[in-house]
C-alpha cells in the first residue's frame, strides 16, 4: 500500500471529515489546517490559532483521530500545534455546498473596517469557486437558478428578498455565493456580506458585550447585498430576531438586496416571529429538491472534471444509483474513491469503488432505532420527545406525531399496535388514522412532502 505524505494525508482526511461534520462546522474549524508532521505512530495537525487548537482537541479529536487512523493504520496519537503553512500549500476546502463560511474562529467580535468609497468593496467570505457556470441545472433546481441569475443581474429590484430553501447538501450555498461572485464581477465596488446565521448571531452577541453595537450595525446595514445562510437557526433567538428585523427593514427600504437560505419554508421555521416570516416570504421563495438519477450523473461528471480525474461510466452509475439525495455526499464519494485508489496504487474500477464505498452504502440501508427517530423528529419540529408522544392535541404537536407514525410504518415496517406502544401506548386505531392522514395529504401537500424528504435524509445521516 502506498504511504501518503503530509499533504496527501490531510487532503484524504478532509474528504472524510467534510461528510462527518456540518457544512458550517467543517468550513469554520478546518480552514487553514494541515498536517504539520507525520512521525512513526503520531501525526501533528497544524492549526491557525490557539482557539482552533483547543476546539479540535476538546470537541473533534475522536472523529479526526478515527479518520487519520484509517489512512495510517499504525497511528497511536494525533496532536495539534499552532503553525503557519508557509512551507507547503494547505489542501483547499472546496466542494459543492460545503465550504459555506470562510471564517476564522474568534473569541470576540471584531468589526470590519469599511473601505474607502472609491476602492473596490470586499466580498466578505465568498468562495470564488462558486459560480453559475459550474452549477449543474435540472428540474429540481431550475427555478432557484433562474431567480438567482435574475437577482445577480438586478440586485435589489428583481426579487427582494430571495429566499432559497432545500435539504442539506443540495447546492443552496453554491447558488447564493454564485450570486455574490456575479455581482462583484460586474460591480467591484459593491459591498457583499455573506454570513451564516450562527455568525450573525455571534457577532450580535459579541457587539453587545463589547459595547460595539454601532460598528455591528454599520457592518451589516451598509451592505449592498446581505446573504445569510441557514436562517432556520434563528428560531427561538428573540434578541437576534429583533436585530435582524431592523437590519432587514433598513436594507429593504434602501433597495439593498437580501438573500436568505433555509432548510424549510419561512412559515415552517418554528419560533420565528410572524413579522419576520412574512418578510421572508414577501419576495421570491424558491426551493431546491434532491437531484434525480440523470442529474446526479451529470453532477458527478462535473465534479470529476473539476478534480481533473476520470471515472468510468459504470462507476459513475454505481455512485449515482446508491447516493441519491445529497450533492455533498456525491463529491465525498469521489474523494473517497480517489483516496482509496491512491493508497492502494490501483485504478478506480467498479470493484474498487464498491470496496471504497461499502461503509457508506451499507450504512444507508440501516434502520435507526425508534428512540433516535423520535428524537430526530422532535428536534426537526423544535419540540420535545415528551410532547411528541403525549396526549396533547396542540396543532404544533399533532402533525409531527402523525408524521412519526407514518415514518415508523413506512420506513421501519412496524405494526400499528407496535407503533402505538412506542407512542405512549396509543390505540392502534389512532395510529391507523394518523398514518392514513399523512398518506392522503402527501400527494397534494408540497410542504409535507419536503418535510418527509428532509426527515428521511436525517434518518440516513444518523447511521
Write out the binding residues for ATP.
169, 171-173
Distance separating alpha carbons of residues 449 and 432, to the nearest angstrom: 19
Packing angle of the helix pair 213-221, 238-253 (nearest 10 deg): 50
Binding residues: 169, 171-173
- Quote the CA–CA distance of 355 and 358 in Å, as a whole number: 5
* C-alpha–C-alpha distance, residues 272 and 19, integer Å: 29
Q: How far apart are CA 100 and CA 24, in angstroms?
A: 6
Closest by CA position to 381, among listed 455, 445, 438: 455
Kindly provide the b/e burial profile for residues 243-280, where b requires at least 16 CB atoms within 10 angstroms of the residue's own CB. Answer: bbeebbebbbeeebbbbbbbbbbbebbeebeeebeebb
What DSSP assignment string belongs to 323-363? --S-HHHHHHHHHHHHHHHHHHT----HHHHHHHTHHHHHH
Per the document, the length of the chain is 463
Helix-then-strand count for the chain, H and E: 21, 9
Amino acid at each position: 500500500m502506498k504511504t501518503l505524505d503530509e499533504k496527501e494525508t490531510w487532503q484524504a482526511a478532509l474528504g472524510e471529515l467534510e461528510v462527518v461534520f456540518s457544512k458550517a462546522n467543517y468550513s469554520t474549524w478546518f480552514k487553514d489546517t494541515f498536517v504539520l508532521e507525520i512521525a512513526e505512530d503520531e501525526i501533528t495537525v497544524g492549526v491557525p490559532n490557539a482557539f482552533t487548537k483547543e476546539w479540535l482537541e476538546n470537541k473533534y479529536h475522536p472523529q479526526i483521530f478515527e479518520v487519520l487512523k484509517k489512512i495510517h493504520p499504525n497511528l497511536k496519537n494525533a496532536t495539534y500545534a499552532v503553525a503557519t503553512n508557509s512551507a507547503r500549500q494547505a489542501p483547499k476546502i472546496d466542494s459543492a455546498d460545503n465550504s459555506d463560511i470562510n471564517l476564522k474562529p474568534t473569541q470576540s467580535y471584531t468589526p470590519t473596517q469599511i473601505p474607502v468609497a472609491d476602492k473596490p468593496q470586499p466580498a466578505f467570505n465568498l468562495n470564488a469557486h462558486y459560480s453559475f457556470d459550474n452549477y449543474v441545472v435540472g428540474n429540481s433546481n431550475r427555478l432557484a437558478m433562474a431567480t438567482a441569475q435574475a437577482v445577480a443581474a438586478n440586485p435589489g429590484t428583481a426579487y427582494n428578498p430571495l429566499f432559497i430553501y432545500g435539504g442539506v447538501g443540495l447546492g443552496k450555498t453554491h447558488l447564493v455565493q454564485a450570486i455574490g461572485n456575479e455581482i462583484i464581477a460586474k460591480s467591484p465596488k459593491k459591498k457583499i456580506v455573506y454570513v451564516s446565521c450562527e455568525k450573525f448571531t455571534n457577532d450580535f452577541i459579541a457587539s453587545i458585550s463589547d459595547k460595539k453595537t454601532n460598528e455591528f450595525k454599520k457592518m451589516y446595514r451598509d451592505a449592498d447585498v446581505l446573504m445569510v445562510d441557514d436562517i432556520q437557526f434563528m428560531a427561538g433567538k428573540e434578541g437576534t430576531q429583533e436585530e435582524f428585523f431592523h437590519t432587514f427593514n433598513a436594507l429593504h427600504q434602501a433597495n439593498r438586496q437580501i438573500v436568505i437560505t433555509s432548510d424549510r419554508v419561512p412559515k415552517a421555521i418554528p419560533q420565528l416571529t410572524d413579522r419576520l416570516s412574512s418578510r421572508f416570504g414577501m419576495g421570491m421563495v424558491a426551493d431546491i429538491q434532491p437531484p434525480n438519477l440523470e442529474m446526479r450523473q451529470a453532477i458527478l461528471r462535473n465534479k470529476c472534471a473539476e478534480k481533473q480525474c476520470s471515472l468510468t461510466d459504470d462507476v459513475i452509475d454505481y455512485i449515482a444509483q446508491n447516493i441519491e439525495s445529497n450533492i455533498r455526499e456525491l463529491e465525498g464519494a469521489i474523494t473517497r474513491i480517489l483516496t482509496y485508489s491512491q493508497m492502494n496504487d490501483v485504478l478506480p474500477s467498479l470493484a474498487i469503488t464498491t470496496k471504497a464505498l461499502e461503509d457508506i452504502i451499507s450504512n444507508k440501508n440501516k434502520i435507526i432505532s425508534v428512540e433516535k427517530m423520535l428524537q430526530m423528529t422532535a428536534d426537526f419540529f423544535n419540540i420535545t420527545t415528551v410532547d411528541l408522544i403525549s396526549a396533547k392535541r396542540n396543532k404544533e404537536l399533532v402533525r409531527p406525531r402523525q408524521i412519526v407514525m407514518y415514518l415508523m410504518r413506512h420506513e421501519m415496517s412496524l405494526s400499528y399496535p407496535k407503533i402505538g406502544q412506542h407512542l405512549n401506548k396509543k390505540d392502534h386505531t389512532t395510529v391507523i388514522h394518523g398514518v392514513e392522514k399523512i398518506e392522503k395529504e402527501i400527494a397534494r401537500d408540497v410542504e409535507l412532502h419536503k418535510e418527509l424528504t428532509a426527515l428521511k435524509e436525517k434518518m440516513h445521516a444518523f447511521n
